[in-house]
Amino acid sequence: MALSEDLSAFLTDFGVSCTSGAVTALGILDMPGQLLADGMVISTDYQLTCKASDFGNLKYNDSISVDGVAYTVRETRLIDDGRMCEVSLMKT
């Protein structure tokens, strides 16, 4: 028997409003830092975790607004069973 969970429950507590084109939905924005140049430089990546049915079709250079801030898509990857995705972003 296949499980049928409501993915919105995963986004409700920590999700922020995201808009790309005509689609507005919740997503979780992470900003992991990375040390570069032998620890001399800190780089911040932006990653949005969201439902694939909402933003899984975003392509390189598409625009998205996350919590009122403009970003450009670098890459979109399906995760786990393909119902959620991670979207790598760069601040516009």
CATH of the domain at 84: 2.40.10.10
Residue 6 lies in a domain: no
Residue 70 lies in a domain: yes
Domains held by the chain: number: 1
Q: What is the pLDDT of residues 29-87, one digit of tens each?
A: 998 777 777 776 777 789 999 999 999 999 999 999 999 999 999 999 999 889 999 99
pLDDT score of 24: 97
DSSP string, the chain: ------THHHHHTT-EEEEETTEEEEEEEE--EEEETTTTEEEE-EEEEEEHHHHTT--TT-EEEETTEEEEEEEEEEETTTTEEEEEEEE-
Residue 1 lies in a domain: no
- Rounded to two decimals, the pTM is 0.84
Q: What is the pLDDT of residues 23-32, one digit of tens each?
A: 999 999 998 7
Residue 31 lies in a domain: yes
Residue 24 lies in a domain: yes
Residue 22 lies in a domain: yes
What is the span of the domain harbouring residue 56? 11-91
